Chain A
Amino acid sequence: MSANDFWAEGEPVFDKAAPDGPVETRWERRKFSAKLVNPANRRKLTVIVVGTGLAGGSAAATLAEAGYRVKSYCYQDSPRRAHSIAAQGGINAAKNYRNDGDSVYRLFYDTVKGGDFRARESNVYRLAQVSVNIIDQCVAQGVPFAREYGGLLDNRSFGGTQVSRTFYARGQTGQQLLLGAYQALERQIGLGNVEMNARHEMLELIIVDGKARGIVVRDMVTGEITTEFADAVVLASGGYGNVFFLSTNAKGCNVTASWRAHRKGALFANPCYTQIHPTCIPESGSHQSKLTLMSESLRNDGRVWVPKNAADCQKPAGEIAEEDRDYYLERIYPSFGNLVPRDIASRAAKNVCDEGRGVGPGGLGVYLDFADAIKRLGRKAVEAKYGNLFEMYERITGEDPYETPMRIYPAVHYTMGGLWVDYDLQSTIPGLFVVGEANFSDHGANRLGASALMQGLADGYFVLPNTISNYLAAGPFPAVQATDAPVVEARKEVEDRIAKFLSIDGDRTVDSFHRELGQIMWEYCGMERTEEGLTKAIGLIRALKEEFWTRVKVPGKGEELNQNLEKAGRVADFIELGELMCIDALHRRESCGGHFRAESQTPDGEALRHDDEFSYAAAWEYFGADGKPVLHKEDLNFEYVHPSTRSYK
């Protein structure tokens, strides 16, 4: 595949904000070298924060506490509903409360290795460092973490690690952490330091004199389009897993804020790195609107298996004798067993199903069996740990997991790619910062379990508030007016686009396009990718795009609550993103983390990286709707954790 067919190659991109020297002191030194803003001047500076999840909520609250004026936006009816709320399992922190050999260095090491050597060492080390502050902060806010009888915090081990460093609140850790951030944010709203705009959607970025200075938003209740200005803009708008239509993301999760920024010049890095979570509830039919994750903490006590013989797949699980069961993770990966990282567990499930040994409707499922755990620990103990997850499973499937094993199958869950940012979390557009899942920075090609909550809160509470001051110190910047040419132009783009959606009046619904896009992405850019499949997918997506813009039917008007109009904008952006994801996956002729290229595997079917050729972050520049994206490489250097083959055998 030559670059010329689908993309062009540009100059490398560098992270100029990253300090060098010993990794242990880089964050300290960066904080010290960053310019500060005098407390009296902070109230003259306005920061827009888009999104109110763990990263956005904590950033908005913390910036307001520091004295900046904050304007916060979310598409939901309340900031408390951001999808961080659905995170179940836990949050990692290098507290070493278990005395089991954990440390900042070990968390750093595990995260770089778990990311398959495609993340920056500086960022990951900082993440591990501030992880300990996050737990302190959350406890001070009253987050009711699980505790032991002595009153101290409980921990558990979580997918892919050999120490117990995961803090949790039953199976609702994300909810509890988000409520902590939300309550801090509401406090600042009540104090008048944050202007909250719920049910508002960012539809365009405003750039004036080369700096991000505002956004165009649509009031989702009245349909009114307004332009909002600030000295800096922070995107905390989450990941793009919904490009697959079916994912564990909330229905409203979308890439529009990030994609609009990308179209305006922000580089988009590693879009093909998608995490497929191994333990989700399988699809039940064509009505399926989303997939539900079962926390992978279940793999601590559940044993994954399928029948040894395809002929047994139709039998009820209870009728399959012990010796006829294949506990394939324990068999293939004896040292990690059921706790292998997500990408490995997912692909192993796909492989056994491809062999015809899957269970449940369509043969797309494997068993996650708690019979042994119930025998060993008692039903009560299992209920205490996983009660709410078992209930949720029963509600959705109508089956009782205490009696029959759960059926699980992989589903898209998290996206490691995102807008490219430097060490300061600033994108390639000055004044545009990106935090949480929306950026690409810390997880490399694969994220470890319980690390998303850690990164979201690290960015929002501790990193961004310390780095954004370096940028804001040069402000306040000259006031922007609604009549300035770039503002008028950005606003017009939004209005024209809405008018276009409403005028097509075709014969296909927005959802039908989204579903079709999702099928293409899952088939060709899902758990296993090939050159042939990706090339085909790019053609299919281009055809779909053309069809969308000629046949979509968006009912209603712009000046009202119009959920299909909202979806149309998001799907249009997902279609463009889908093409870039396939191009990124096509160009990366290696397997790493969440990206498995069938052409690049070891003789026994494991992922094969090519460090000599691909040890870089791929940052893509937008070159027009019909232009070729331009690849800018950021070379990755590993001074501490030397690239090795991940082996969990």
Chain B
Amino acid sequence: MDIKVRVWRQASPSAAGKMVTYDVKGISPDASFLEMIDVLNETLILSGDDPIAFDHDCREGICGMCSMVINGVAHGPEKATTTCQLHMRKFSDGDVIDVEPWRAAAFPVIKDLVVDRTAFDKIIQAGGYITAPTGTAPDAHATPVPKKDADAAFEAATCIGCGACVAACPNGSSMLFTAAKIAHLGLMPQGQPERDSRVIDMLQAQDDAGFGGCTNAGECTTVCPKGIPLSLIGRLNSDYRKAVSKR
């Protein structure tokens, strides 16, 4: 396949960025999107240009590091798929493909397509855990967990923390990310003692980190590579109301 990519190039956090067009020729439809960028970077290096900086690691859709807005959509056109799992067979010969970084106030650009997502870690620090210091645990079978709850908790816990939800949200809100963690821990019996403080503290932390407010636009769940449902935000809001009323 022969394609063109228009890529956001920005040398540093403070530098002005711009879209730059590159030709990519003879790429296999079986190559992944990131492998296409690899191939482009090899030619850029040998021709004396600066290769495109982008985040990636596991390349199997689970680490959450890859993060490209492709043709205006976080992680690109394929539903429930991270950038690294997107393959060129989903595009056509002659396509012109736009590639941009996550754009959100809380995720400043570091270079090219690389953004800073430490704001997500701050939300977890505020309460996205169950306090269970090593060595204190009772036997694993001491508290049975209904399968339905365990399965629902697992579904929420599959969030990979990539930040596509924030990139897609018109408000740059991290509500789906936070809601997924609230649901995961709130559905487990072990998560009950901290359930109220967790939701209050995590919501405060996302405000402090510069994320926008949620207006139920629903763009987040549309791009989520793990299909985290919008209903979890409703659950979060319900938890929050209950927690605040108990104060």
Q: Which of B30, B118, B121, B138 contacts A140 (CB 8 A)?
A: B138
Is there an interface contact between B58 and A189, defined as CB atoms closer than 8 Å? no
Is there an interface contact between A289 and B59, defined as CB atoms closer than 8 Å? yes
Is there an interface contact between A136 and B39, defined as CB atoms closer than 8 Å? no
Q: Is A169 close to B, CB under 8 A?
A: yes
Size bracket of the A interface = 35 or more
Is there an interface contact between A561 and B144, defined as CB atoms closer than 8 Å? no
CB neighbours (8 Å) of A252 from chain B are: 57
Is there an interface contact between B120 and A287, defined as CB atoms closer than 8 Å? no
CB neighbours (8 Å) of B60 from chain A are: 86, 248, 290, 292-293, 392
- The DSSP consensus for interface residues of chain B is loop
Q: Which of A179-187, A373-381, A537-545 contacts B (4 or more CB under 8 A)?
A: A179-187
Is there an interface contact between B150 and A145, defined as CB atoms closer than 8 Å? yes
Taken together as a complex, chains A and B put the C-alpha atoms of A400 and B24 apart, in Å, by 29
Q: Is B185 close to A, CB under 8 A?
A: yes
Is there an interface contact between B45 and A564, defined as CB atoms closer than 8 Å? yes
| Distance in Å: Cβ of A4 to nearest Cβ of chain B | 41
Q: Is B238 close to A, CB under 8 A?
A: no
Taken together as a complex, chains A and B put the C-alpha atoms of A563 and B44 apart, in Å, by 14
Q: Is A251 close to B, CB under 8 A?
A: yes
Give the interface centre of A147, A182, A511 by most chain B CB atoms within 10 Å. Answer: A147
If A145-B150, A187-B131 touch, does A250 touch B59 (CB 8 Å cutoff)?
A: yes
Q: Which of A138, A184, A186 contacts B121 (CB 8 A)?
A: A186
Is there an interface contact between B59 and A392, defined as CB atoms closer than 8 Å? no
Is there an interface contact between A151 and B145, defined as CB atoms closer than 8 Å? yes
Q: Which of B46-54, B210-218, B229-237 contacts A (4 or more CB under 8 A)?
A: B46-54
Taken together as a complex, chains A and B put the C-alpha atoms of A157 and B103 apart, in Å, by 45
Which residues 16-70 of B sit at the A interface, judged by CB distance below 8 A?
27-28, 30-32, 34-36, 38-39, 42, 45-46, 48-51, 53, 55-65
CB neighbours (8 Å) of A137 from chain B are: 132, 134-135, 137
* Smallest CB gap from B36: residue in A: A287
Q: Which of B93-101, B122-130, B164-172 contacts A (4 or more CB under 8 A)?
A: B122-130
Give the interface centre of B32, B121, B136 by most chain A CB atoms within 10 Å. Answer: B121
Q: Is A129 close to B, CB under 8 A?
A: no
Taken together as a complex, chains A and B put the C-alpha atoms of A563 and B154 apart, in Å, by 34
Taken together as a complex, chains A and B put the C-alpha atoms of A225 and B128 apart, in Å, by 32
Taken together as a complex, chains A and B put the C-alpha atoms of A186 and B61 apart, in Å, by 23
Is there an interface contact between A81 and B59, defined as CB atoms closer than 8 Å? no
Is there an interface contact between B140 and A153, defined as CB atoms closer than 8 Å? yes
Taken together as a complex, chains A and B put the C-alpha atoms of A288 and B88 apart, in Å, by 13
Is there an interface contact between B121 and A142, defined as CB atoms closer than 8 Å? no
As a 0/1 sequence over residues 241 to 259 of chain A, the CB contacts with chain B under 8 angstroms (1 = contact) are: 0000000101110000000
If A133-B137, A147-B150, A287-B28 touch, does A179 touch B130 (CB 8 Å cutoff)?
A: no
Taken together as a complex, chains A and B put the C-alpha atoms of A553 and B50 apart, in Å, by 12
Is there an interface contact between B147 and A144, defined as CB atoms closer than 8 Å? no
If A144-B157, A284-B30 touch, does A152 touch B62 (CB 8 Å cutoff)?
A: no
Is there an interface contact between B134 and A61, defined as CB atoms closer than 8 Å? yes
Is there an interface contact between A189 and B63, defined as CB atoms closer than 8 Å? no
Taken together as a complex, chains A and B put the C-alpha atoms of A83 and B57 apart, in Å, by 8
Is there an interface contact between B130 and A85, defined as CB atoms closer than 8 Å? no
As a 0/1 sequence over residues 507 to 532 of chain A, the CB contacts with chain B under 8 angstroms (1 = contact) are: 10101100000000000000000000
CB neighbours (8 Å) of B139 from chain A are: 136
Is there an interface contact between B129 and A141, defined as CB atoms closer than 8 Å? yes
Q: Is A172 close to B, CB under 8 A?
A: yes
Q: Is B158 close to A, CB under 8 A?
A: yes
Is there an interface contact between B141 and A511, defined as CB atoms closer than 8 Å? no
Is there an interface contact between A58 and B134, defined as CB atoms closer than 8 Å? yes
Taken together as a complex, chains A and B put the C-alpha atoms of A298 and B65 apart, in Å, by 26
Is there an interface contact between A144 and B190, defined as CB atoms closer than 8 Å? no
Is there an interface contact between A83 and B63, defined as CB atoms closer than 8 Å? yes
Is there an interface contact between B31 and A285, defined as CB atoms closer than 8 Å? yes
* Smallest CB gap from A187: residue in B: B129
Q: Is A217 close to B, CB under 8 A?
A: no
Is there an interface contact between B65 and A287, defined as CB atoms closer than 8 Å? no
* Smallest CB gap from A145: residue in B: B150
Is there an interface contact between B121 and A78, defined as CB atoms closer than 8 Å? yes
Is there an interface contact between A140 and B120, defined as CB atoms closer than 8 Å? no
CB neighbours (8 Å) of B48 from chain A are: 555
Is there an interface contact between B153 and A142, defined as CB atoms closer than 8 Å? yes
CB neighbours (8 Å) of A136 from chain B are: 137-140
Taken together as a complex, chains A and B put the C-alpha atoms of A58 and B133 apart, in Å, by 10
Is there an interface contact between B161 and A80, defined as CB atoms closer than 8 Å? yes
Q: Is A176 close to B, CB under 8 A?
A: yes
CB neighbours (8 Å) of B35 from chain A are: 287-289
Which residues 157-205 of A sit at the B interface, judged by CB distance below 8 A?
169-170, 172, 175-176, 179, 182-184, 186-187, 189-190, 196, 198
As a 0/1 sequence over residues 535 to 567 of chain A, the CB contacts with chain B under 8 angstroms (1 = contact) are: 000000000000000000101100011011000
CB neighbours (8 Å) of A187 from chain B are: 125, 129, 131
Q: Is A111 close to B, CB under 8 A?
A: no
CB neighbours (8 Å) of A189 from chain B are: 121, 125
As a 0/1 sequence over residues 104 to 146 of chain A, the CB contacts with chain B under 8 angstroms (1 = contact) are: 0000000000000000000000000000010111111110111
Give the interface centre of A62, A137, A153, A287 by most chain B CB atoms within 10 Å. Answer: A287
Is there an interface contact between B154 and A170, defined as CB atoms closer than 8 Å? yes
CB neighbours (8 Å) of A22 from chain B are: none
Taken together as a complex, chains A and B put the C-alpha atoms of A81 and B121 apart, in Å, by 11
Q: Is B5 close to A, CB under 8 A?
A: no
Is there an interface contact between B62 and A175, defined as CB atoms closer than 8 Å? yes
Is there an interface contact between B124 and A83, defined as CB atoms closer than 8 Å? no
Q: Is A574 close to B, CB under 8 A?
A: no
Is there an interface contact between B144 and A151, defined as CB atoms closer than 8 Å? yes
Give the interface centre of B61, B129, B139 by most chain A CB atoms within 10 Å. Answer: B129
Is there an interface contact between B110 and A221, defined as CB atoms closer than 8 Å? yes
Q: Is A65 close to B, CB under 8 A?
A: yes
| Distance in Å: Cβ of B207 to nearest Cβ of chain A | 16
Is there an interface contact between A140 and B132, defined as CB atoms closer than 8 Å? yes
Taken together as a complex, chains A and B put the C-alpha atoms of A105 and B145 apart, in Å, by 29
Taken together as a complex, chains A and B put the C-alpha atoms of A252 and B64 apart, in Å, by 14
Is there an interface contact between B38 and A186, defined as CB atoms closer than 8 Å? no
Q: Is B111 close to A, CB under 8 A?
A: yes
CB neighbours (8 Å) of A196 from chain B are: 121
Is there an interface contact between A564 and B51, defined as CB atoms closer than 8 Å? yes
Taken together as a complex, chains A and B put the C-alpha atoms of A248 and B137 apart, in Å, by 33
CB neighbours (8 Å) of A139 from chain B are: 137, 140, 143, 190
8 intermolecular pairs with C-beta atoms under 8 Å apart: A83-B57, A141-B190, A146-B150, A147-B145, A248-B60, A395-B85, A465-B134, A555-B45
Query: Shortest 3 CB-CB distances between A and B: which pairs?
Result: A151-B144, A190-B125, A183-B129
| Given A172-B62, A175-B160, A250-B59, 4 additional A-B pairs, CB 8 A | A78-B161, A142-B153, A142-B184, A142-B188
